[in-house]
Chain A
Amino acid sequence: MRYRKYINFRTIFSLVIATMLLLHGSAFAQAGDSTATENDTTVSSSELQAEAESAGTTAADTTGNAVAAATPEGTSATSNAVQAAQEEEKSIDPQVYKNFFYYVLLFFLVCIIVGIVGKIIQVYELTREMQGRAKRVNWNKFHGTLFLISLFVGLYGAYWSYAHHGSLAWHESASEHGERIDSMFITTTVITTIVFVLTHILLFGFSFVYKSTGKRKAYFYPHNNLIEKIWTIVPAIVLTVLVLFGFFTWRSITNVPDDVAKDALQVEITGEQFAWTVRYGGKDNKIGKRSIKLTTPLNGLGIDYNDKSAWDDIMGSDIVLPVGKPVRFTINSKDILHSFYMPDFRVQMNAVPGMATHFQMTPRYTTAEMREKLNNPEFDYVMLCAKICGQGHYNMQKTVRIVSEAEYKEWLATQSYFFSDDVKKEFKASQSANKGEQEEDNKQLALNY
């Protein structure tokens, strides 16, 4: 046993010395290199160095660059030419490896320090034992204390995070149903935070108070049915309250009566990789029927113009909505799943190909009002995709503007109809073709593009 320890010592020390030498060597190399550049002003080496420095775009700090850059240069002067040749050959700058190696070395050094500290502790414990002093390091006390510290630091950290990150994250909802969601969110946060704090005080507190001292026996206490019943029933009651609260809120949001839904402003949102198309119901506030088979390059949504209610449908460049008026979104997808998400309004619904989904809401504040509230003149509501949908998933957005009724009407007048002149021509052509031939043609037409 003792022999083995000795061996470990030796290996560790020799490793330390080897690393020190290595670092030392590179320090020497750096010195040598700098003198070389001072004395000898060949273009190649200074050029190389300049290049190395400018190429240090990675996270390495300058000292890292210097040490890493110096190592191979110092080893031999003749390697410069070889290196330059290599550099021309490969597109990857060798600097890359050096920087990486530097970090690996740094980590290795940390490991060695950890090893040394470990050994020091071991030596300390052994000497204590040899001197016949009480005991080794009292690890139970150590961890008990650490748990107590992490209780305080952790609770403060959680508080800080609530205060700091919370204020970054929390904005008042801009929709009417969002208000109800928010109040429930706050209630739930308060309840869970209380539980979080109390249970952690108990968990870490017990860990500290009841750490083993070696003098005491634990208290044999296998069960207590009364206490167990209490802490089954109390969470059950709290959860029942939350469930009921949540259930009715959820129903009130999602279960909109048909007549109310019909009266709301009809807006259809269609997702595809990686864009959204916005369609307003137009004068009749009715969104025309669609069929995927009718899709052509001109008629991207496959709107069925046999349905006359589609003729006045308007294409929105953005989502612009009048404040205080219920709006019903019909959500569709042309290709894969997307998710129609407007965090400011607490609105989210997936866009599913082959199945229309709906969400109804009423905006409360105009964009201008919200800018004032947030004290941020740049602020804009956004709509974004929340369901993984491919390379462009992270940038699939539309701006949302909430404006007054008048502004909305004004804006809507500037938008174009889906049933444009070109589409009309195409529609007429297809109608005449339909009379003579099979519907197959439509598909063929689409396939050709």
Chain B
Amino acid sequence: MSSIAIPHAGDHGHDAHEHHHETFLTKYIFSQDHKMIAKQFLITGIIMAFFAMFLSILFRIQLAWPEKDFPILEVFLGKWAEGGRIRPDFFLSLVTIHGTIMVFFVLTAGLSGTFSNLLIPLQLGARDMASPFMNMLSYWLFFSACVVMISSFFVESGPASAGWTIYPPLSALPQAIPGSGTGMTLWLASMVLFIASQVMGGINYISTVLNMRTKGMSLWRMPLTIWAVFLTAIVGLLSFPVLVSAVVLLIFDRSMGTSFYLSDIIIGGQILPNEGGSPILFQHLFWFLGHPEVYIVLMPALGLTSEVIATNSRKPIFGYHAMVYSLIGITVLSFIVWGHHMFVTGMNPFLGGVFMITTLIIAVPSAVKTFNYLATLWRGNIKFTPAMLFAIGLVSFFISGGLTGIFLGNSALDINLHDTYFVVAHFHLVMGSASICGMLCGVYHWYPKMFGRMMNDKLGYLHFWMTFIGAYLVFFPMHFMGIDGVPRRYYSFTNFPFMQEWLTVNVFVTWAAIIAGLGQVAFLFNFFYSIWFGKKATQNPWKSNTLEWTTPVEHLHGNWPGEIPTVYRWPYDYSKPGHEDDFIPQTVPFSETMSSNLPHDFEGDAVAEQIQREWDKEHGVERELHH
């Protein structure tokens, strides 16, 4: 569309000149360059991911060996693990903060933030985001949100501990659990900062996609990654503000004596004056974001893998239009399914029935996506780069986790499965493992674009297999615990005879988690080592079609040294018959690929068809131009 994106688009020839007045502060800290901001999001996301993973290992240790002391824990955690045993309220804090960080900071900001920022301008042919300054603000708000969240570990009463869903009244009453004191205040403050960051980011992504595509880049020529992050941004922009309202009302209830969520409560022998509020109201507000949030987490991952699977199968993604329509379907439907989190919370049962219907409908576009992935692999020429391995991993997790969603989306079955380990297994597979696989797939694939160097393949292989097998070993058995009726967020299983049967399984799961967790060190090392010592990347290491691989390896402000390239075709012309290479970049016009053009390429352009017909006659090629 337009290439007059940013003011200094004109002086692209003088990059050296521009770099002169870039200080360390403006280049690495308060950078307004989308590529640097992407890296900032990614590295912050990775650090938060490791932090949250560490928390999960801590509570897994408690679950596996509830009767054992681990004095080393006291060394690090002090009063939270007196005598080497994690305290029940701190256990709940660990669960809460693990969930919050993973869902919001890693899989929302770390995933969307990184790849929207990196790929939207690069794959659409823009010099930067629509509002680079706002983009920078978005990162720094996210960063402060992270700092505030982690700081809650350093307050006297401990971090928030009402679960990542922070249902009031538990989260509203410090008398109910210590974590609902200062820790909860910090949680809420962090979340407000985070949402502000998301909204700023979202506005930026949407306006960039709509306004700043290069010449020839029509919506239907956008790579699926862009479709995914674009729709994700729309979902986020519409749903996150609702969470703000939920959070603000909760802040009022906590500190200003209002009764939005509170009614008829006696705690610690005291009758609270609050009257007329409803905890269910909070759940409605929370899940109005909370459910779309699941797709905010998942859709970018699906977008990234679509691109990676097509590139590494050396095949066009099967059913490009169906892929886009199913993303749009998921986007729309994701707003009307939130009630399935509330089947047994006291919501009117009739509503439960309605939400069950909408919920199961959303499985249809998801199924279409899966089948399209499989069809893309069919008769491909699959190259197993680490990115491709993770992409296949995503498909597997997406299937396994998605199928258990059919149980939970069914309100009748949900009666017995609600708030059990079945739920834990379900969402850890479908949105945890699948999304993290998508994110890692993206990191391995676009690493050369981000850092100009390659990551080590073999460590990547090791990392994949450890993660893939580990995640299944951890989460598969949990389904059965849930079927048996073991509720989630239980500090120990020792008080119920029927749960004691699962103690050995718990030990197994914890060992699997520890080993898979250590496997991530392979990634951490690989990531940071390769930034400085990796093999130098070539311009287009994966032989990919999309625009970002036409930029020089060395980053420069404005992305392309010369004019922004024009786009002539869709991004998936891989292994086109009649062409000697197995890929044709989007920047190659049809006039240069006369031997491989297909009827639908011309989109009904009569002149182009005429030219092609003449060329065919000249070269003795038989071709049907009309379908």
Contact = CB atoms under 8 A, between A and B. Distances in A.
* Binding between chains A and B: yes
Interface of A: 4, 57-59, 92-93, 95-97, 99-100, 107, 110-111, 114, 118, 121, 139-140, 142-144, 146-147, 150, 154, 157-158, 161, 165-166, 168-171, 178, 180-181, 184-185, 188-189, 191-192, 195-196, 199-200, 202-204, 206-207, 210-213, 216-224, 227-228, 231-232, 235-236, 239, 242-243, 246-247, 249-251, 253-255, 272-273, 292-293, 295, 297, 302, 334-337, 339, 341, 343-344, 346-350, 352-355, 357, 378-380, 382, 384-395, 397, 443, 446-447, 449
Given A168-B501, A247-B356, A203 B395 contact: yes
Contacts of B411: 246-247, 250
Contacts of A344: 485
B557 to A, nearest CB: 30
Interface stretch (B121-129, B229-237, B347-355): B347-355
Contact of B271 (A213, A295, A385): A295
B415 A253 contact: yes
Given A107-B518, A239-B361, A343-B416, A247 B353 contact: yes
A386 B374 contact: no
Question: Which of A178, A272, A339 has the most B CB atoms < 10 Å from its CB?
Answer: A339
The 3 closest A-B pairs by CB, nearest first: A343-B485, A354-B263, A254-B349
Interface stretch (B145-153, B434-442, B569-577, B587-595): B569-577
Contact of B269 (A247, A384, A449): A449
Contacts of B276: 354
B418 A348 contact: yes
Nearest to A253: B412
A443 B272 CA distance: 10
Most buried by A among B372, B485, B572: B485
A314 B471 CA distance: 50
Interface stretch (B196-204, B206-214, B376-384): B376-384
A334 B322 CA distance: 51
Interface in B366-424: 367-368, 370-375, 377-384, 389, 392, 395-396, 399-400, 403-404, 406-407, 410-413, 415-416, 418-420
A195 B382 contact: no
Contacts of B418: 339, 348, 386
B83 to A, nearest CB: 9
Q: Is the interface of A mostly helix, strand, loop or mixed?
A: helix
A184 B496 contact: no
Contact of B314 (A107, A202, A212, A302): A212
Given A222-B316, A247-B356, A349-B346, 18 more contacts: A144-B382, A168-B501, A188-B407, A203-B396, A206-B374, A206-B380, A218-B314, A220-B577, A222-B320, A243-B410, A249-B412, A254-B349, A353-B262, A354-B277, A389-B176, A393-B88, A443-B271, A446-B270
Nearest to A301: B266
A386 B419 contact: yes
A250 B413 CA distance: 8
14 contacts: A96-B84, A144-B384, A181-B416, A189-B407, A222-B316, A223-B319, A243-B360, A246-B411, A251-B350, A251-B353, A293-B271, A348-B344, A352-B345, A385-B487
A140 B382 contact: yes
B327 to A, nearest CB: 14
Q: Which of A180, A354, A380, A385 has the most CB atoms of chain B within a 10 A radius of its CB?
A: A354
A243 B356 contact: yes
A231 B349 contact: no
A361 to B, nearest CB: 10
Given A196-B400, A239-B361, A334-B265, A212 B383 contact: yes
Given A168-B484, A218-B574, A336 B176 contact: yes
Contacts of A397: 495-496
Nearest to A297: B269
